[in-house]
C-alpha cells in the first residue's frame, strides 16, 4: 500500500489533472483536500474531454472511492451540475462522497468576492470570482455553513438568517451593492440539500478505514505552492493550503500516514491573476507558448501569463512540500525552440538570491539569472520511455531535477493518457 499526495509546484495549472488521472488508475481512493470550483482539471480519455472542477478525476474509473474532503469549499449548484454532466455521459457517480465538515459557498460569498475585488481597483488579486476567499473567511470567522448544517434543515434556516442579515449589511453599507433575499436562498439550498444528502459522509473516517486496509490512496491538491495562503506570493494567493501539509488537515489524516509527495511542474511556468512573475515572457515567444500549450484557464477561460522554467520556484516547492518526486508536464510544448532558458537564481541589488523571497517588492525587482540550453526539433509526443527522448530533452529534464533537488517520476508529452512517460512507479 502507498499514500501519495499530489501538489502543484508552481502557480497552479501545472497539468495536475492528467497526472492525477494516471495515478488514479492504481489508487483505491482519491480525495480532494482544499480549494473549490476555482480549480479546473481537463482530462482526455480517448477522444472525450472531461472538465472537472470539484469531483476528483478518479470518478472516470469504475470502483474508485472518490471523496471531497473537509478542507474543500463546495458550491452545491456547481457540484450538482458536474454530477449531472458526468451522469449524462454515462459515468457512474455512486462512489462519490462529500465531507459533512466541508464548508458551503453561498451566493453572498460570490457577491462579496466580486465587490472586494472591485473595491481594490489596481490592487485586485484577480480571483476567479467563485466566492472562494469569502467562504474561507467565514470558516475562519466561525460563521460558515458546513455540509452537515446544510442538510439539517433547522440549522440551515437559523445560520442562514444571521448570515444573510450580516452580509446584506456589508454589501449595502460598505460596498454599496444590493443584497439577497433570505427566503429565496433558503428554498434554493433546501433543494440542494435534498439532492446531495445521499453523498454526505464522514470522509476522514472513510480515508482512515481505507488506510487500515492497506490500500492505495491519492490526495489530490488543487492550485499550487505559490498560491498557498502561507507559502505563496501573498496576498496574490488563494485562501486555502494547496501545499502537502494541507492534505492532512483537509482530508483528516495524520502526517505519519503520508508516504510520498509528488510535485507537478510544467516544463515552463504559467500564472493567472495578478502579482510578480520573474521569468514572464511578455513577447511573441510568450504568446507562442500560450498558443501551443493552450494556456487558457479551464475555469475562467482567462489567458495565462507564460514564462521560462524557474528553478528557484521548483527548489522552494521541494522545500515547502517535502517533495519526493517531480512530474514534469507539457514537455512537448517546447518542441521546436532552438534554445531554452532555465532560471537558476535571481539577481537583486547586485546579489544572487537562490531562495524564493517573501517580499513582493523584492520579487518584483528580481532579474532572473538564466542558463541557456539547446532545444530539440524531434516530435516527442509518441515517446513511451525516457530513452526515446532526444539527448537535449533529457539534458533539460536532468537540469530541472538537479536545480529542484528531486528526481523526476513522470513526464507528460501530450494531452492524452497514453502520452505519459513513467520513470518511477508511485503505487
- Give the shortest CB-181-to-ligand IMP separation in angstroms: 25
Q: Interaction with ligand IMP in 130-189: which residues (CB under 6 A)?
A: 130, 132-133
* Residue 9 is a binding residue for ligand IMP (CB under 6 A): no
Nearest to 227 by CA among 214, 240, 209, 246: 240
Contact pattern from residue 116 through residue 135 relative to ligand IMP, giving x for each residue in contact according to CB under 6 A and a dash for the rest: ---------xxxx-x-xx--
Q: Interaction with ligand IMP in 231-250: which residues (CB under 6 A)?
A: 236, 238-239
- Residue closer to ligand IMP by CB (options 2, 299) is 299
Question: By Cβ distance, which residue is nearest to ligand IMP?
Answer: 273
Q: Can you tell me which of 10, 37, 38, 99 binds ligand IMP, judged by CB under 6 A?
A: 38
- Give the shortest CB-84-to-ligand IMP separation in angstroms: 22
Alpha-carbon span 405 to 326, nearest angstrom? 9
- Give the shortest CB-225-to-ligand IMP separation in angstroms: 12
CB 57 within 8 A of CB 417: no
Could you give the residue ranges of the DSSP H alpha helices within 170-226? 182-196, 203-212
Task: Return the range that interacts with ligand IMP (CB under 6 A); candidates 17-25, 35-43, 67-75, 172-180.
Answer: 35-43
Q: Interaction with ligand IMP in 207-226: which residues (CB under 6 A)?
A: 222-223
- Residue closer to ligand IMP by CB (options 251, 272) is 272
C-alpha cell read off for 303: 489567458
- Residue closer to ligand IMP by CB (options 24, 105) is 105
- Give the shortest CB-369-to-ligand IMP separation in angstroms: 26
- Give the shortest CB-113-to-ligand IMP separation in angstroms: 7
Q: Interaction with ligand IMP in 365-424: which residues (CB under 6 A)?
A: none
Neighbours of 46 (CB within 10 A): 8
- Apex 145 CA angle, 150 and 113, nearest 5: 120
- Residue closer to ligand IMP by CB (options 156, 222) is 222
* Residue 13 is a binding residue for ligand IMP (CB under 6 A): yes
Alpha-carbon span 187 to 173, nearest angstrom? 26
Per-state percent for the chain, helix, strand, coil, to nearest 5: 40, 20, 40
Alpha-carbon span 179 to 185, nearest angstrom? 11
Alpha-carbon span 427 to 411, nearest angstrom? 16
- Give the shortest CB-62-to-ligand IMP separation in angstroms: 27
The position carrying cell 439577497 is 180
How many residues line the site for ligand IMP (CB under 6 A)? 20
- Give the shortest CB-227-to-ligand IMP separation in angstroms: 5
54, 251, 405, 423 from 322: Cα distances, Å: 25, 18, 10, 20
Q: Can you tell me which of 4, 5, 10, 12 binds ligand IMP, judged by CB under 6 A?
A: 12
- Give the shortest CB-105-to-ligand IMP separation in angstroms: 11
Q: Interaction with ligand IMP in 260-279: which residues (CB under 6 A)?
A: 272-273
* Residue 343 is a binding residue for ligand IMP (CB under 6 A): no
Active site residue 283: no
Active site residue 13: yes
C-alpha cell read off for 10: 508552481
Could you give the residue ranges of the DSSP H alpha helices within 48-179? 76-88, 107-120, 132-140, 147-151, 153-169
- Of the residues 13, 149, 228, 332, only one is catalytic, namely 13
- Of the residues 21, 41, 310, 332, only one is catalytic, namely 41
140, 229, 245, 263, 408 from 240: Cα distances, Å: 11, 6, 11, 17, 27
- Residue closer to ligand IMP by CB (options 267, 393) is 267
- Residue closer to ligand IMP by CB (options 50, 427) is 50
Nearest to 267 by CA among 340, 321, 338: 340
Long-range contacts of 164-171 (CB under 8 A, 24+ apart): 164/108, 167/108, 167/111, 167/112, 168/108, 170/112, 171/108, 171/111, 171/112, 171/115
Alpha-carbon span 347 to 366, nearest angstrom? 6
Q: Can you tell me which of 6, 23, 24, 39 binds ligand IMP, judged by CB under 6 A?
A: 39
| φ and ψ of 52, to 5 deg | -115, 140
Alpha-carbon span 304 to 290, nearest angstrom? 7
- Residue closer to ligand IMP by CB (options 28, 75) is 75
Q: Can you tell me which of 7, 164, 193, 227 binds ligand IMP, judged by CB under 6 A?
A: 227
Return residues touching ligand IMP (CB under 6 A). Answer: 12-13, 38-40, 125-128, 130, 132-133, 222-223, 227, 236, 238-239, 272-273
**Positions marked catalytic:** 13, 41
Amino acid at each position: 500500500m502507498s499514500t501519495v499526495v499530489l501538489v502543484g509546484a508552481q502557480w497552479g495549472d501545472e497539468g495536475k489533472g492528467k497526472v492525477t488521472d494516471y495515478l488514479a488508475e492504481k489508487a483505491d481512493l482519491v480525495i480532494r483536500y482544499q480549494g473549490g470550483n476555482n480549480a479546473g482539471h481537463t482530462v482526455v480519455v480517448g477522444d472525450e474531454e472531461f472538465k472537472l472542477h470539484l469531483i476528483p478525476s478518479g470518478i472516470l474509473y469504475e470502483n474508485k472511492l472518490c471523496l471531497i474532503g473537509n478542507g474543500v469549499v463546495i458550491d452545491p449548484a456547481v457540484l450538482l451540475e458536474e454530477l449531472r454532466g458526468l451522469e449524462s455521459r454515462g459515468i457512474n457517480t455512486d462512489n462519490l462522497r462529500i465531507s459533512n465538515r466541508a464548508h458551503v459557498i453561498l451566493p453572498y460569498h460570490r457577491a462579496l468576492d466580486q465587490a472586494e475585488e472591485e473595491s481594490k481597483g489596481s490592487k485586485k488579486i484577480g480571483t476567479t470570482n467563485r466566492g472562494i476567499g469569502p467562504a474561507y473567511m467565514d470558516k475562519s470567522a466561525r460563521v460558515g455553513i458546513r455540509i452537515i448544517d446544510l442538510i439539517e434543515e433547522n440549522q440551515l434556516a437559523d445560520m442562514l438568517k444571521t448570515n444573510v442579515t450580516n452580509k446584506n449589511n456589508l454589501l449595502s453599507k460598505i460596498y454599496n451593492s444590493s443584497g439577497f433575499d433570505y427566503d429565496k436562498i433558503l428554498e434554493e439550498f433546501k433543494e440542494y440539500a435534498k439532492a446531495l444528502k445521499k453523498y454526505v459522509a464522514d470522509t476522514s473516517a472513510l480515508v482512515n478505514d481505507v488506510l487500515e486496509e492497506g490500500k492505495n490512496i491519492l490526495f489530490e491538491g488543487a492550485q499550487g505552492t505559490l498560491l498557498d495562503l502561507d507559502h505563496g506570493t501573498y496576498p496574490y494567493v488563494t485562501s486555502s493550503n494547496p501545499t502537502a501539509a494541507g492534505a492532512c488537515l483537509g482530508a483528516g489524516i495524520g502526517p505519519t500516514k503520508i508516504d510520498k509527495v509528488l510535485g507537478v511542474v510544467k516544463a515552463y511556468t504559467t500564472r493567472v491573476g495578478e502579482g510578480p512573475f520573474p521569468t514572464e515572457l511578455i513577447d511573441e515567444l510568450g504568446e507562442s507558448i500560450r498558443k501551443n500549450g493552450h494556456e487558457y484557464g479551464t475555469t475562467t477561460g482567462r489567458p495565462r501569463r507564460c514564462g521560462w522554467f524557474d528553478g528557484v520556484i521548483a527548489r522552494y516547492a521541494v522545500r515547502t512540500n517535502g517533495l519526493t518526486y517531480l512530474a514534469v508536464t507539457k514537455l512537448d510544448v517546447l518542441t521546436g525552440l532552438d534554445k531554452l532558458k532555465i532560471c537558476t537564481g535571481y539577481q537583486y541589488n547586485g546579489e544572487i538570491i537562490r531562495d524564493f523571497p517573501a517580499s513582493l517588492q523584492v520579487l518584483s525587482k528580481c532579474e532572473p539569472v538564466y542558463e541557456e540550453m539547446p532545444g530539440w526539433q524531434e516530435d516527442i509526443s509518441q515517446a513511451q520511455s525516457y530513452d526515446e527522448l532526444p539527448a537535449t530533452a533529457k539534458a533539460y529534464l536532468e537540469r530541472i531535477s538537479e536545480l529542484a533537488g528531486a528526481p523526476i517520476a513522470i513526464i507528460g508529452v501530450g494531452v492524452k493518457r497514453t502520452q505519459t512517460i513513467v520513470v518511477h512507479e508511485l503505487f
